[in-house]
Amino acid sequence: MLAFVRHFSLNYSLEYILPMAAIILVALFYLLGRTIFQRAFERRTILIARGFLMAPLLAVAILSVENYRATDYYRFDSYLNAYEFYHYYIGTKYAREVGYTNMYAATLVADYDTDMKWAHDSGTIRNLATGRRENHKQFLADADKYRNLFSPERWEEFKKDIEYFKDNLVQGRWNGVIRDKGYNGTPVWSMLVGGLLSNRISTDSPRGMMFLALLDPLLILLAFGVVMWAFGPRTALLMLILLGTHYMMKWWHMKGAYLRTDWAMCLVMAVCMIRKKHFATAGALTGYAMLSRIFPAVLLFGVGAKFFWALIDVGWVYARDYYNRLELHKRPANARFLIRATLVVFVITFLWGSYGFTNGVIVQWMGGEERTVGAFFSLATTSTDGHSAWMHMFTLIAWAAFGGALAYVALRGLYERKLDTRYIRFFVAFALTVGSFTAVSLVYWRGTDNYMPTANAQEEESGLVAALPGYWQEYVRKIGQHSQDISTWRVGYKYIFMADFGDNFSYLETPINEWSPRVRSALYNERRVDWWHTQIWILVLATFAAFRMKDYRAYILGFVPLFFLVSPTYYYYIMLLVPLLFFAPRIEHGRYALGLCMMYIAGMSGFVFYDMWRQEYSTYYWLSVQLMVMVLYMLALGYTESIHFALNRLAAARNTPGE
């Protein structure tokens, strides 16, 4: 059986065949749910037909697993991805000694001390403190500085580990490994992984290193099982097909590596836990994902939006009760009219003021050069966009009052048990996970002050950053530097926003293989106000879309602002397994079957783009465009779900006796 699967994977273009087969199966599942089939066949016959379709779906999923394993997993005739492993093993094991900025320099010195293998033609390695590539001789001239970061025993162990990776990397990869961008795991992740695994499992143990390399497949298997438990086998198999065939999940960066997928699998399992009403567990899993990679924190948005609407519901009940207690409905008609007219005028003024405050203050502040409290209030007290300073202050006070009212509703609702605590459990578990691990890490990294300051460290060492342990300070600087870098391998709205096709480009006259923009970061700097306009509109639209969505679907809807706000490197889009759970469970409905097919088509198109442009910006620009279409489609479906729920609720209220 395995021999047949391997033969099939080696001799056929599975990256196209398998997604197409999945699309056909999705279409068949959809057709079986149509009224014409429901009327033509008995329900038992339809169920049997669906059962028969599970057999080819299982076969496609098995081939997808083999495709995932066979494609780019054994790039250098080894399951263990030594290039990725080096960064995450060395980065966590020797975090106290090398931090975030000295790993490459110390590696070069250890290489020099153990029969030097590194020999890049340029003679440069990356200085992780500045981000620039600099002559390797200057680091060797300061060799004692880097040796002295270690105790004698730890230096010997470090050299032994470096020899291990030298032996497992071909010359070209070893030349390039210390020219990359370093290790970027959070201090919390370094503490957990370094303390529990890296410092306990030695490179002397082949079994131990293989165990570390198998952690990611085991986590994927665990997530598959949890999806099967929460959504059923069909959805779980559709997830495996996407994982095994999508272009952005093909490459070796996440394969044979060291816990590169833990955060993504936690997000998948968080969706499942919300589906099964285990909100505290979902909050803890989301907290761990954030502590691992930071940007998953955006997925708090969906649950936050649902909590907001829950507060509005309870607040409306309290407002109605207060209205009845005041017996305003018994007042004379002219008094009732005056009260209602006053409320209407206030609401219109508030909405108009909010629009002006958003455009004239918030967007200008976010897109400006100075983001201080003083700059914010300076804008708030200035007339802008046809809105007076008085209108801005009215709006700000009204927002503050509204926030206070929501806080009152939350406290009273919890006290009187009128507010469902599921969202509270989610956020409490999230806060406890993030807060407790972060607090422990602040203590754990005390004394780690052997770091190489960056060029602007003096400015950054004021305030909160200066109070952090040295290892945390390095992380804050490195992530700040990393987020400002422009990488043509990143995917997200930002890299659509910065695309420049040139003045003379025409889609009609230019051949498709020349639809190749260039990334121009100046566009982002010149149009930051437009950028923040878009972000705020997306947040507002997504908040309203979540109004009556199911909880787990609202959580997934957080992927919409995530796509617009952050732009991680393409291989981090293994997190597409999260929005897959938005579409896959509902493929009997055409609109969701279409969304799932869009995901498979995007996966296939990546290979087409790669054939045309390789690892150039054009490949990831067009993948970003496809994902933007998908997330906007998700947003539209969110509105249909909320409207459908509201109409059903209204119909039920009309049909209820006594209503």
Longest CA–CA span in the chain (Å) reads 96
Nearest C-alpha neighbor of 547 from the set 260, 267, 308, 217: 308
CA angle 301-364-567, nearest 5°? 45
Predicted pLDDT at 456? 46
- Joined together, the tokens standing for residue 540 give 């507002």
Q: How far apart are CA 109 and CA 136, in angstroms?
A: 10
Residue 134: what residue type? Answer: E
3-state secondary structure 243-263: HHHCHHHCCHHHCCCCCCCHH
Nearest C-alpha neighbor of 568 from the set 458, 650, 477, 485: 485
User: Which 3 state secondary structure label does DSSP give 341?
Assistant: helix
Question: In angstroms, how far is CA 240 from the centroid of its own chain?
Answer: 19
Nearest C-alpha neighbor of 437 from the set 282, 284, 593, 628: 284
Sequence-ordered alpha helix ranges (H) in 41-193? 43-70, 82-93, 95-98, 103-113, 136-141, 143-147, 152-168, 171-177, 187-193
The label of the residue with tokens 């940007």 reads 295
3-state secondary structure 364-420: HHHHCCCCCHHHHHHHHCCCECCECHHHHHHHHHHHHHHHHHHHHHHHHHHHCCCCC
Predicted pLDDT at 75? 72
Q: Which residues of 353-379 are buried (b: 16+ CB within 10 A; e: fewer)?
A: bbebbbbbbbbbbbbeeeeeeeebeeb
Task: Concatenate the DSSP letters of all residues of 517-578 into one string.
Answer: -EE-HHHHHHTHHHHHHHHHHHHHHHHHHTTT--HHHHHHHTHHHHHHH---BGGGGGGGHH
CA angle 269-29-246, nearest 5°? 50
Q: Work out the number of other CB atoms within 10 angstroms of the CB of residue 24.
A: 13
Nearest C-alpha neighbor of 600 from the set 8, 16, 176, 132: 16
Q: Work out the number of other CB atoms within 10 angstroms of the CB of residue 172.
A: 10
CB 53 within 8 A of CB 588: no
CB 634 within 8 A of CB 559: yes
- pLDDT profile of the chain (659 residues), mean per 10: 60 86 96 83 84 95 91 78 95 95 96 95 93 94 95 97 95 94 94 96 96 96 98 98 94 88 97 98 98 95 97 93 79 83 91 90 88 88 81 93 95 93 97 97 83 46 70 88 83 96 91 93 89 95 95 98 95 97 96 97 96 94 98 96 79 59
CB 55 within 8 A of CB 20: no
CB 147 within 8 A of CB 154: no
Whole-model pTM: value is: 0.94
Residue 451: DSSP 8-state: -
Predicted pLDDT at 457? 46
Q: How far apart are CA 85 and CA 349, in angstroms?
A: 58
> Burial, 484: exposed, middle or buried (Cβ in 10 Å; 0-12, 13-18, 19+)?
exposed
CB 528 within 8 A of CB 606: no
The label of the residue with tokens 């990611």 reads 216
- Joined together, the tokens standing for residue 29 give 């599942």
Query: CA of 192: how far to CAs of 125, 150, 152, 444, 575, in Å?
Result: 29, 21, 25, 10, 22
- Residue 499, beta-bridge partner list: 519
Contacts of 312 (CB under 8 A, 6+ apart): none
CB 547 within 8 A of CB 642: yes
Q: Work out the number of other CB atoms within 10 angstroms of the CB of residue 296.
A: 26
Question: In angstroms, how far is CA 430 from the centroid of its own chain?
Answer: 16
Residue 656: DSSP 8-state: S
CB 244 within 8 A of CB 67: yes
- Residue 360, beta-bridge partner list: none
Q: How far apart are CA 463 and CA 441, in angstroms?
A: 19
- Residue 183's H or E segment, with its range, is none
CB 209 within 8 A of CB 221: no
Q: How far apart are CA 562 and CA 582, in angstroms?
A: 15
- Joined together, the tokens standing for residue 646 give 């509201």
CB 125 within 8 A of CB 105: yes
The label of the residue with tokens 């059986």 reads 1
CB 285 within 8 A of CB 255: no
Predicted pLDDT at 455? 42
Q: How far apart are CA 656 and CA 658, in angstroms?
A: 6
